[in-house]
Amino acid sequence: MTDKVLGVILGGGQGSRLSPLTQTRSKPAVPIAGKYRLVDIPISNCLNSGIHRMFVLTQFNSASLNKHIKNTYHFSHFSTAFVDILAAEQTVQNSGWFQGTADAVRQCMHHIVSHEFDYILILSGDQLYQMDFKDMIEKHIEANAEITIATIPVTAKDATDFGILKADEENMITSFIEKPKTGLEDWVSDTGEEMQGEGRNFLASMGIYVFNREYLINILNENEEEKDFGKEILPRAISQSRVLSFQYEGYWTDIGNISSFFEANLGLTDEIPKFNMFDSNHAIFTRARMLPPSKISGTTLDKTIIAEGCIIQASKVEHAVLGIRSRIGKDTVITNAYIMGSDRYQTLEEIQDETGKGNSLIGIGDRCFINNAIIDKNCRIGNDVKINGGDHLEDGDFELYAVKDGIVVIKKGAVVPSGTVI
C-alpha cells in the first residue's frame, strides 16, 4: 500500500516567528534535540511508515537544508527510494516565488507527477511528533475519501491558533474555520471520553493531508488563484468532496515560535518525555557524523541530554540540551538552556593562537552562568559571561542576541566578550 504513496514535505515560509534561528537557515533546517534537524522528523515518520519516496519543497535560506539532505539520505542503487529537494524556480509559465502551501505544490506538480503514485501525503517540515502514516492511509482508502486531514483534539485556549473542524458520525468533515476568535461553543466535537476529560473538545488540523492523485491535480488546476491549503483549498473541498478526519491523540507540537521551540527541546529532558526518542519503532534518522563520545569532567548533571563529541567541564548542567561538539569551560553553571554546539572542532594550534591573542574560543568559557537561553551554533562565549533570561527582560533584537518571551537567543556565530552581562 505505502508503495503507492509519495510524500511531499513543505519547507515553510520565511519563519520570522522563529527568528533569529531562521536568519541564515530555513525552519526545517533548525537543529533540534542537539543532533537532529526539524526536517528529520517528517522524513523519519515517512521512512518508519514504509514511505520511501519524498520531495522537500524549499524557498527561503535553503542552502543548509539542501546540504543536510544531500549528506544524510542515501539509499541503495537498487532501491526506488529518494529524498529530493524541489526549490522554487522560475519557468516560462511562472516567474514568481511560492505564494503559499498549495501554490508551492502546484508549481512543483510537473516534477511530482513524473512519478507513479495513487496517493500524495503532504506534510509540514516544522512539527515534532511520531506518527504511523499507514493507519491514516488505510482509513483514507476504507472511507473512499478524496482528502484526509489529520486532526488532533485541542483545548479552547489552543483552538484560536489552529484551523478547527467539525465532522459527522462517519468522521467526514462538514465544516471548517481558520483560527476562530469568537463563537467557539459552536465548534465543540465529540473527541472521545479521554480527550474530553482533558478539556480537549476541539478538532484542530495538524497540517497533514492525504490526497488522491487525480483529485489533487484537478483541485489545484481549477482555481489557480487559491494559494493556500488551509485557508482556501480545503474549505472549498469540504463543501464539495469526501474529506475525512483522521484523529490523532499522541504528542504533537507545531514549532511556530521561540517559546514553543524552547519548550519542545527542554521537554525532551523529562523523566518520561512526551516525545520518545528512545522508541526503536520510531527511530529518528539524521546525518551520521562519526563523532567521538562526549567527555565530562567534574560536572553535576541533572535532566540533561548530551549529544556526541562534547567536552564538558562545567560545575553544573541542569534541565538542558547540549548539542554536538559543545565545549563548556570550568566552573560554569547552565540551567534551562539549549546549547546547539558547533560545526567543527578548533585544532590545538588554533586554541593556543586564539588564547594567546585573548580571543574567546568556540563554545562557552569558564565561570559563566547561563539560564533561560538558547545558544545557536558556533558561538564564542567568553569567560565570566552572565546570561539570565526571564520575564524581567523585554523582547528585543540586538546585535549579538534577541529576547523572545523572556528567552535569550544568542545568534549563530556570535562572539560574546568576556564579562558580558545580559
Pairwise CA distance, residues 31 & 324, whole Å:
10
Q: For residue 325, give every residue at least 6 positions away whose Cβ sits within 8 Å of its Cβ, in sequence order, or none.
A: 291, 309, 310, 341, 342, 343, 344, 345
- Does the pLDDT at position 80 exceed 90? no
| Buried b or exposed e, range 164-193, using 16+ CB within 10 angstroms | bbbbeeebebeebbeebeeebeebebebee
**pLDDT on residue 407:** 97
Report CA Rg, the chain.
23
Share of the chain above pLDDT 90, in %: 56
In tens, the pLDDT along 360-373 reads: 999 999 999 999 99
pLDDT at 332: 98
Contact 58, 86 (CB under 8 A): yes
d(CA 267, CA 305): 11
Q: Which residues contact 235 (CB under 8 A, 6 or more apart)?
A: 176, 178
| Cis, peptide link before residue 180, omega less than 30° from 0 | no
**pLDDT single digits (tens) 263-286:** 999 999 999 999 989 988 899 999
Which carries the bigger pLDDT value, residue 228 or residue 36? 36
**Interior/surface letters 101-129, b for 16+ CB within 10 angstroms, e for the rest:** bbbbbbbbbeebeeeebebbbbbbbbbbb
Cell output for 31: 537543529
Among candidates 297, 298, 293, 285, which has minimal Cα distance to 310? 293
pLDDT tens digits, 296-314:
999 999 999 999 999 999 9
Q: What integer is the mean pLDDT of 215-223?
A: 87
Domain limits of the chain?
2-267, 290-416
Predicted pLDDT of residue 95:
53
416 pLDDT band, cuts 50/70/90, is very high
Of residues 193 and 93, more confidently modeled: 193
Arithmetic mean of pLDDT, 177-200: 84
Alpha-carbon distance of 372 to 263, in angstroms, equals: 11
| pLDDT tens figures, 124-139 | 888 999 999 999 999 9
Q: Which of the four pLDDT bands, split at 50, 70 and 90, describes residue 341?
A: very high
> Would you tell me which CATH number, out of the four given (2.160.10.10, 2.70.150.10, 3.30.930.10, 3.40.50.12240), belongs to the domain 290-416?
2.160.10.10
| Predicted local distance difference test score (pLDDT) of residue 96 | 62
Amino acid at 261: F
Residue 419 has pLDDT above 90, yes or no: yes
Question: Cβ distance 232 to 102 under 8 Å?
Answer: yes
Q: What is the pLDDT of residue 60?
A: 64
Q: For residue 38, which amino acid is it?
A: L
Residue 93, pLDDT score = 61
Report phi then psi at 176, rounded to 5: -150, 140
What amino acid is encoded at 256 in this protein?
G
- Specify the CATH superfamily of domain 2-267: Spore Coat Polysaccharide Biosynthesis Protein SpsA; Chain A (3.90.550.10)
The residue assigned the cell 508549481 is 107
Does residue 2 register a pLDDT over 80? no
**pLDDT at residue 88 in the model:** 60
Query: Residue 334: is its pLDDT beyond 90?
Result: yes
Q: Residue 105 and residue 120: Cα distance in Å, rounded?
A: 11
Q: Helix, strand or coil for residue 309?
A: coil
Question: Is the whole model's pTM more than 0.85, yes or no?
Answer: yes
| pLDDT at position 265 | 96
What's the whole-number mean pLDDT along residues 84-97? 63
Q: What is the pLDDT of residues 370-408, one digit of tens each?
A: 999 999 999 999 999 999 999 999 999 999 999 999 999
- Print burial letters for 387-419: b (CB count within 10 Å at least 16), e (below 16): bebeeebeeeeeeebbbbebbbbbbbebebebe
Going by pLDDT thresholds of 50, 70 and 90, the confidence category of residue 248 is very high
13: confidence class by pLDDT, cuts 50, 70, 90: low
Q: Above 70 in pLDDT, residue 18?
A: yes
**Cα angle for residues 133, 139, 141 (degrees, 5° grid):** 105
